[in-house]
Structure 1
């Protein structure tokens, strides 16, 4: 009977090494994605809709008007523009 080694040749070792690296990369990636999905309250859509911290644009505009930096016409014009772009700004004043 002929005995021969059932070992893997040079390319086999290379393929197994690359396969193992890809396997662990996939496992780690899935773990990170699962952690991020579970650790993020409200999911991804909550972050996209959230406003940045700080005063609202309407509040900044009202403060500029109160300081006298802009006149009443300019205030109403800019407030209307903000209302048209965001859709949730109540209309103030005469317009």
Structure 2
């Protein structure tokens, strides 16, 4: 008795579909994985965080802010 005489032929097709869906999901998964940065931080945002943590003084903050944004 052959396995593909009509009884199991459909199962073969189902496995191909499952593999194609699995590979497509792996390669085309969105880049916004939980617990991963989804956007790049702007320099001003980094500067504000450093100031909030107390890593730089107010004078340093103002000086760096002028270097980053000379218009303001």
Q: Which category describes the TM-score, using the shorter chain as reference length?
A: 0.3 to 0.5
TM-score normalised to structure 2 length: 0.44
Over alpha carbons, which structure has the higher Rg? 1
Task: Specify which structure has the higher proportion of helix.
Answer: 1
